[in-house]
Amino acid sequence: MSSSRVRSLARFALPAAAVVLLPAAVSPARDASAAAADVLLSQGKPVSTSTLEASALSGENAVDGNLKTRWASAVSADAQWLRVDLGQAATVHRVKLNWEAAYAKKYRIEISDDGENFKPIATITNGDGGTDDLTGLSGHGRFLRFVGTERATKYGYSLWELQAYGTPDSSGDTQPPTAPSNLAAGEIGANSVALTWAAATDNVGVSGYEVLRDGKSIATSTSTSYTDNGLSPDTDYTYTVRAKDAAGNASPVSAAVKVHTKPGTAGNTFVLAAAGDIAEQCTASSSSCMHPKTAKLVQQINPAAVITMGDNQYDAENDSLTLQNFKDYYDKTWGKFKSITHPVPGNHETYDDTPFQAYEQYFGKIATPNGKRYYSWEMGNWHFIALDSNGFVDDKDGGELKDTDQMNWIKQDLAKNTKGCVAAYYHHPRWSSGDHGDQRGSKQLWDLFAQNKVDLILNGHDHHYERFVPQDANGKADPAGPVEIVGGMGGANPYPVHAAHPTTAKLLKDTFGVLKLTMTDTTFSEQLIGLDGTVLDSSPTYTCHN
C-alpha cells in the first residue's frame, strides 16, 4: 500500500468491512461545484484531547498546518480521542488525516452540536497508516472528534495533521482574536500557580480565554487572570493561553510560561465539589432543567468528596416530598456521586409528611452516621462539620430557634478536633444579599464558629452565588474570621438578589454552577465553575487560622 491514499465512498463500497458509514450521517457524493465550495474548517481551532504522550506533543499540533509537528496520545492505551471545536456549526464533507508511524488500525470520525453527544460519520476498520483522505461525508455540527479504538503499534495514536473541510453555516465573523501577550506567573505555591496576561484584541470583541497546562485545556476565564489549583509540589508545568470571541474564533496560543511549584506534601491536597439547592422535579429531556448540567460539572471536577448544603431534592408544589422524588430526580444526576457525598438537609427536606423521612431513607447512614442529622468527618488536615440548621432557624422568618442538643454536640466536636483546618456547612446563611437575606437564627452558629476560628463556612438557601471576605461575629471584615460562601446555585430556579454587603467579595445572580474547593494541609481556595466550564469566580488562597 502506498503512503498516501484517498478513502472515498466509492473506494470503500467494497469490501463492506473496511468502512461503516451511517445512512443518516452520510449523503451521496456531491457534485464538483459543491466540493469546490469547501473550506478548511479545522486549522488553528481549539483542540482538546483524552491524553498526551508529552506536553510537546499537544493536540494543537494536529491543526496547526505544520507537517513537522504532531499530537501523540498516551503510550499503550486504546480508546483515545482528539476533539476540534470548529468555532461554529458546519457541514463536514471531507476529513484528511496524516499519520505518524503510530497510526490507528480502527477509528471513528464523529460530529456533535454540543461537544458531548457525538454521532459517527465514518468508521475505519482496516487503517494502514500514511494519509487517510475521507471524502463524500455529510456530517453537521460544531465539534469534530477522532476516536481511536484499536492501535496498529505498541505506541499510542499520533497525527501530524487532521484537516476537516466543509461549509460553515454562515460566513459571519471569521476573524480570530489576537494572541494574548505577557503571560506571567505571579504567586507560586506548592499546589497552585496564579497566572495573569494582557488582554487580546478582536474586531468584534473577546468573550473569554482558554488556559492550557502542558498543552491540554484545563479551564476558561472571562478575565485576564486564572489560578490553577490542585498541582503537585516540586513539579514543572508549562502554561499557554488563547483568546476566543463570541463567534467561536480562537486565537493562536500565547507565548508559553514555565513554572516550578514549591516543595510541599502532595498526598494531602484534595479537591471537593459543593453546591446547595439542587434537584427540582425535572429531567435532562428539558433544556431548562439544570441539575443534570451541574452534575456533569461535578463529574468533570472529579472530586475526592462532594458536599451538599441542603435542599438536595425539591418537593412538588402542594405535595409532600417523597423517597420516590429522590429516586426520580436527584438520584439520576447527583446521585451518581452518592458514595462520596456528605449531605446536610435544608428546609425543603422538612416538607415531608414526616419531616426528613425521605431524606434519611434516601441517604441512609451517609446522612446520619451517628444517628443524628449532624456529624463531622475528616480528610487530610481538614475537619468538616455538617449541620442541620433547621434546628436553629425558623423557616417562616429566619428567626432564632433553639437546638440545645446539637449546639452542645458542636461545642464538644470543636473541642475534640485535632486537625489544623476546619470547615462547617449548613443550609441557612448568616449573611446573604439574596431574597431570604441574613438569617438571624444562624447567628448562634456563626458566633461560635468565629470565636473558634473556623476557616470556611458553606451555605445554600438563597439561590445565587456570593463569596464574602473573612468576617468577625458582627459581619465586619476581619482576616481572623471565617470565609462564608453562599452556593445555592446547584440547579433550583434563581432568586432575586439585593444590594451587596460591604463585605461581599463577589455576587452573581441568575447563575448555576458548582463550587470547586482545593484544600491543602494549611490552605484552601475556591472557584465557581459555570455550566460551560468557565471559571466565574476565583478566591484568593487562604491560610488556615490554626
Please report, in tens digits, the pLDDT of each residue of the chain (546 residues total).
333 444 443 333 333 335 555 433 333 333 334 444 789 999 988 888 888 888 788 899 999 889 999 999 988 778 899 999 998 889 999 999 999 999 999 999 999 998 888 999 999 999 999 999 999 999 999 999 999 999 999 999 999 999 999 998 876 777 889 999 999 999 888 778 999 999 999 988 899 999 989 887 888 888 899 988 777 788 899 999 999 888 778 898 999 999 998 876 555 789 999 999 999 999 999 999 999 999 999 999 989 999 999 999 999 877 899 999 999 999 999 999 999 999 999 999 999 999 999 999 999 999 999 999 999 999 989 999 999 999 999 988 888 999 999 999 999 999 999 999 999 999 999 999 999 999 999 999 999 999 999 999 999 999 999 999 999 999 999 999 999 999 999 999 999 999 999 999 999 999 999 999 999 989 999 999 999 888 999 999 999 998
* Amino acid, single-letter form, for residue 394: D
Chain centre to alpha carbon of residue 385: 25
Report pLDDT for 191. Answer: 77
Q: CB of 279 within 8 A of CB of 330?
A: yes
Residue from 463, 465, 480 nearest 536 by CA = 465
Between CA 345 and CA 389 the distance in angstroms is 8
| Pair type for strands 236-245 and 47-49 | unpaired
- Say which CATH superfamily domain 39-168 falls into: Galactose-binding domain-like (2.60.120.260)
All cell numbers assigned to 117: 453527544
The contacts of residue 295 (CB under 8 Å, 6+ apart) are 333, 334, 336, 337
Q: What is the pLDDT of residue 116?
A: 84
Q: Is the peptide bond before 15 cis (omega within 30 degrees of 0)?
A: yes
The domain 181-261 is classified under which CATH number: 3.90.600.10, 2.60.40.10, 3.40.50.620, 3.40.640.10? 2.60.40.10
- Alpha carbon distance 81, 109 (integer Å): 10
Cell reading at 448: 461560635
Q: CA 11, CA 15: separation in Å to the nearest integer?
A: 9
Do the Cβ atoms of 73 and 156 come closer than 8 Å? yes
* Contacting residues for 165 by C-beta, under 8 A, at least 6 apart: 38, 39, 40, 41, 92, 93, 94, 95, 96
- Please tell me the CATH code under which domain 271-518+531-543 is placed: 3.60.21.10
Domain limits of the chain?
39-168, 181-261, 271-518+531-543
Three-class SS of residue 293? Answer: helix
pTM greater than 0.95: no
CA-angle at 508, arms to 518 and 243, nearest 5°? 70
- Rounded Cα gap, residues 129 and 115, in angstroms: 27
Give the contacts of 502 (CB within 8 A, at least 6 positions apart). 477
**Phi, psi at 499, each rounded to 5°:** -60, 135
Name residue 82's beta-bridge partners.
Answer: 49, 146
